Each structure stands twice: as structure tokens, then as C-alpha cells.
Structure 1
Amino acid sequence: MKVNWQGVIPAITTKFNRDDTIDYTFFANHCRWLVDAGCIGIVPLGSLGEGATLSFEEKIALLKTALEAIGDRVPVIPGIASLSTTEAVRLAQAAEHIGCSGLMVLPPYVYSTDWREMKAHVDAVLRATSLPAMLYNNPLAYKTDFLPEQIAELAREHSNLQAVKESSADVRRIAAIRALIGERLELLVGVDDCLVEAVQAGAVGWIAGLVNAFPHESVALFQLAQQARLGQGDQAQLEALYNWFLPLLRLDTVPKFVQLIKLAQEMVGMGSAQVRGPRLELEGEELASARQIIEEALKHRPVLN
């Protein structure tokens, strides 16, 4: 299936049962719910999906579940991340073999060094399959920063590199990448609370987090932002929706974003706050503060047209 990078693509969470096993039935329903709301793809196994805590076998089972749940409606684009290059290549090849449509390629977990080594890792994954790929740049989380000129170098050498998820939180990067490579790559924003600014700068897609709990609002916000960039749509409606959404979107930008987004899912009746270790569920003042933010948003939840 051809990958369309232009729209809202959830970095989907992974729901666990109380015995720490994966709730595959919920995962399938969650995939369908997100697609029904207008999302154009699904990204499992990312950091929000707690990919680092999943075994190889669990990762493959989740991908098969997503593929069975949504069929040919939208592409499944797994996050490819690992401690080792060999394991990342193995996962990428397995994803292609079972029918995934694309890949989101991350730098290796834990080990981060210079461009020569990080490029070699990404090169190996991109060469391992023929699937279209999106590079995930998140220097805050992974301590590897793919600079615009380095992204341009990868784009020149790999025809299957089609997109970049830019999560440096610096919207100037979008213009800098575009200045070097023109329209060669699709640029997507990966930081929820700068969505509107990133679209204004030229981002065409959103790898979203809070979409797991608020898919209809996420799709509406992205569409309004796109219209505003073209000088169309209702600016007042965009501002009202963004202002309502921002306290929630900021939950995506802190170290405990997984716990916070899963708590939001639980509070809207679409998931559980349970996480896998080393993460622990929120408690005490931290939990109370998060609940207050989510409850306030739910109290004033907008009615969408």
C-alpha cells in the first residue's frame, strides 16, 4: 500500500493487562477507532508505544494485529528502534515480510555518538527493505540530532527515504530542511504542542500523541491548521480549538508523556493508565495535577462541526 504522509498518524500506545501481557483485542479496537476518526496511518512500536519494553515476538504480534484490524484502509508504519543495528534490520525485514507499508526509522537506543556511526545505523536499516521510510529525529529523547544537511545527505543516497518526523521542537528546522532539499521529503511534526506553528512552517503531517485519547479533535485541528496555512478556513475556530487543546498537547512534551497520555485515554474511556516498568503509573500530587488538566479539558470539550 502506498504511504500517504499528509495527515494525522497516531504514534499508538500499547495497552497492557494487569498481568503485564498485551491486550491485543483492545489494540485492534483502538486501531480501528483511530482510523474511523480520520487518521491516515498507524505507527506502532514507537516510544509512546513503549517499544523499548516489548520483546521481538510481541512487536511482531502487535504488527500482525494492526494489519488484521485495519486491513487495507491505511498503512501500518512500525517504529524501528533497537539497541543494535542487527536487531533493527531484523525488525525492519520482518515488518516488510508480514505486510507493513512503511517504516519509521529511529537512531539506536542508548548509544549515541557521531554522524559517521549514526548514519551507518540508518543506512543499514534503509537498505534492508524496499519499504518507504520516515526518519525520526528526536535529539531530546535519543541524544542524536540529525541536522538538515545530514538529512539531505541521506535523502540523496536512499530513494526509499520519503519523510522526516522532526521532533527537535525547533520549527525553524522545517524551513532549513526544505531549503536544502525542496519537496524531496515530506516533513511531519512530532511534537504535539507546536503543531500549528509547524504546519505554518511547512509540515504536511503530524505523528501525534494525544490523538490516542482525542482523535476527532486532533484531525480537526490539523485540518484547520492546513487551511490556515493556505489562507482559508476559520481562523477563530482554529485559535479556539488550539487554545482548548494546548494544555493537553503539552502532556506530550515531558518525560512522563507515556503515563500522561495513557491516563488521558483511561479518563475518556478508551484505554488504561497501566504502563510497563521501568515506568510507573502516576500518583500523589503528580496524578492529581494531571487529572485536573484532563478534567478541565473534558469539562469544556468543544463540539466539532
Structure 2
Amino acid sequence: MKNALYGGVNAAVLTPMNEDLSVDLDRMAAHCRWLLANGCNGLGVMGTTGEANSLGLQERMDVLEGLVARGIPAARMMPGTGVANLTDTVILTRHAEKMGCPGALLLPPFYYKNPTDDGLLAYFNEVIQRVGGAIKIYLYNFPQQSAVPFSVPFIERLRAANPGKVKGIKDSSGSYENGLSYVEAFAGDGFEVYAGDDTLLKPLLEKGAAGCITAASNVNCSIGSIVYAAWNAPAGAAAHEVLSATRKAVISVPLISGLKALVARNTGDPRWETIRPPHMKLTDAQKAALFTVFDASGLTLPKAA
């Protein structure tokens, strides 16, 4: 897809923590710079991988402000702003626009299960109306975590009710068929579909997707960028094999903890392993197993500065 707002490889950015579990903004900004220098087109901050739902409202706004103050371009960030309630979702989305972000990624209101499409439509219509402004809305489809999937008919209704506002979707369902259904229904008129699973980047690019927003991009963005640039060439096919192997490696252990362990190893900074409960650091045995399978993928990480 040409001219996508966040087209390409986007990392669901990790959030480094201090010993007291506060956010370490200096290390986070350094990691964002490394990502942008090594293949990332954009940064999905304050998402699932970023432990956003373990952070408070003010903390989430402080992260965005802190990154911008440290020189991370707001135009490259798609912050997660969807929470379980209407009021805070509006506050976070307005704040993202104030900081200069062109788009925001919204989970559905995930606490109450099995909402009707009418209920979801009323919720998102209200959010969009209250937010106003020019910021674009991206839906975050992650039914394994939220238990609230976005159907094609729902998206069709939401887009019709809010022309030009709902710009795309991150599909973390892990289903090629589901991602393809979004591409086939909407990509033809500029709706941006992003794979949430690295193994689906190339297959969905072939059908017209805009790119990916993935957790593993914290470590595999250099090879992901080759897949994105050469998806229809032999170099892209070869890179896709490595990309898929890295994805399988990082999901062989608890995902966020494993990614933090890999970044800690690459930076030589063990503080990267600090994580907010209920998540836990990997055991030594888990780390050893992860490192073995990740290294077998054939990807060598560019060293952090």
C-alpha cells in the first residue's frame, strides 16, 4: 500500500523500568532511536508490549511527553490510547494529538465482554466525537487479550459513520484469514491493515496490507525492513524465513519478559529485565533456552550505541 501514514515496520515498543518500577525515559528514548536507525518506520508506544495497561493515566501521558522532549518525533509514534473506559480513552487520544501524533491505536472497551456491534459503534462514535481534531483512529484487534473482536461489518459501519477518521487496524488475531478479510474489504480505499504477527507480514503485504506493528520488531526490525522493502523479490522471501524464525523464538517464552531479556543482552544492561507485576522476569533456564533458539534464527542484532 502506498502513502500509508505508518506504512512499513512498526515496533510495539518495550517500556524500560527503573528498580522502583517507574519508567526510565532515557533508556526508552535510546531504544526508540535504535529502532528508527535499524529498520523501523514507526513506533507503537504504550501498547500491550509496552505494559501500558500496567501504567496509570498520568504515567502514559508522561511517557509520550518525555519521548518528545528527548527528540523522538511525534510524527513517527502511534500511541495506544484505548482503555476500558470512555473518559480516559478520550483524554489519552486528545493528548496524543496535542503532542503531534498523527494517529492513535485504540483497544475496544475490553472489561465488559460480548458487547453488541451496536454497543461498540455507540462507544467509538462517542470517542471520536469527543476527541474531535484531526488525529486518525486505528483499531486494535486483539481478541485473545480483549475478548472483543472487530468484525468486517462493524468496521464498515464505523467508517461510514465517521468518514475519514478511522484510518486502519492492527490485527493481532494471528489469523491470516482474518487479516485478509480486512485487506479485501477496505485496503482498496486507503484503509491501512497492519499485521500483529511477523509471520504474516509478507503474506499480507502481497494482498495489499500496509505493514506490521509487532512486539518482535523490538529485536527483528532490521530483517523486517528487508521483508517490507522486497516482499515481492527473492531477498524478501529469504528475509521472511529469518523473520518468522525470530517470531517463533520470542513466543517460546513469556513474550514481554523474553524481549526485555534479549534487549538486555544486546545492550549489556541488565536493568532492561525489570518488569511490572504481574509479569515476571525470565528464569535463567528460560533465558538460556530463548537465547539458543533466537540465535539459531540466523539474525544478528545491530549493537546498541
Q: What's the TM-score once normalised by structure 1's chain length?
A: 0.86
1:284 to partner: Cα distance: 5.2
The amino acid that maps onto 1:206 is C
The amino acid that maps onto 1:95 is A
1:74 to partner: Cα distance: 3.8
Size of the alignment, in residue pairs? 293
Post-superposition Cα deviations, 1:54-107, rounded to whole Å, max 9, x if no partner, equal 111111111012223345474322101222121111211222223322111111
2:11, 2:43 within 8 Å by CA — same for their partners in 1?
Answer: yes
Give % identity.
22
SS of the aligned residue for 2:273 comes to coil
Say which of 168, 176, 198 aligns to 2:173. 168
Residue of structure 2 equivalent to 1:190: 196
Residue of structure 1 equivalent to 2:219: 213
- Is 1:151 the counterpart of 2:155? The answer is yes
Give, in whole Å, the separation in 1 of the partners of 2:7 and 2:268.
Answer: 25
The amino acid that maps onto 1:189 is A
Residue of structure 2 equivalent to 1:56: 57
In structure 2, relative to structure 1, the CA distance for the partners of 1:178 and 1:100 (3 Å cut) is closer
- Is 1:118 the counterpart of 2:120? The answer is yes
In structure 2, relative to structure 1, the CA distance for the partners of 1:73 and 1:279 (3 Å cut) is closer
SS of the aligned residue for 1:258 comes to helix
2:253, 2:286 within 8 Å by CA — same for their partners in 1?
Answer: no
Post-superposition Cα deviations, 1:203-254, rounded to whole Å, max 9, x if no partner, equal 11211222212332221222222xx1xxxx3x1x333322223232125657
1:293 to partner: Cα distance: 1.4
Gap runs ≥5 in structure 1 = none
1:184 to partner: Cα distance: 3.9
Residue of structure 1 equivalent to 2:274: 274
Give, in whole Å, the separation in 2 of the partners of 1:297 and 1:168.
Answer: 24
In structure 2, relative to structure 1, the CA distance for the partners of 1:302 and 1:281 (3 Å cut) is closer
1:3 to partner: Cα distance: 7.1
Residue of structure 1 equivalent to 2:143: 139
Gap runs ≥5 in structure 2 = none
Give, in whole Å, the separation in 2 of the partners of 1:138 and 1:270.
Answer: 32
SS of the aligned residue for 1:136 comes to strand
The amino acid that maps onto 1:116 is D
Give, in whole Å, the separation in 1 of the partners of 2:252 and 2:112.
Answer: 21
In structure 2, relative to structure 1, the CA distance for the partners of 1:140 and 1:218 (3 Å cut) is same
Give, in whole Å, the separation in 2 of the partners of 1:302 and 1:22.
Answer: 24
Residue of structure 1 equivalent to 2:205: 199
1:279 to partner: Cα distance: 0.4
1:282 to partner: Cα distance: 1.3
The amino acid that maps onto 1:265 is V
Map 1:1-305 → 2, pairs under 5 A:
4-70=5-71, 72=73, 74-114=75-115, 115-127=117-129, 128-130=131-133, 131-158=135-162, 159-181=164-186, 182-225=188-231, 228=232, 233=233, 235=234, 237-251=235-249, 256-269=254-267, 272-283=272-283, 285-297=285-297, 301=300
1:295 to partner: Cα distance: 3.3
The amino acid that maps onto 1:190 is G
2:198, 2:247 within 8 Å by CA — same for their partners in 1?
Answer: yes
The amino acid that maps onto 1:8 is V
Give, in whole Å, the separation in 1 of the partners of 2:8 and 2:195.
Answer: 10
The amino acid that maps onto 2:225 is V
Q: What's the TM-score once normalised by structure 2's chain length?
A: 0.86
SS of the aligned residue for 1:152 comes to helix
279-288 or 152-161: bigger deviation: 279-288
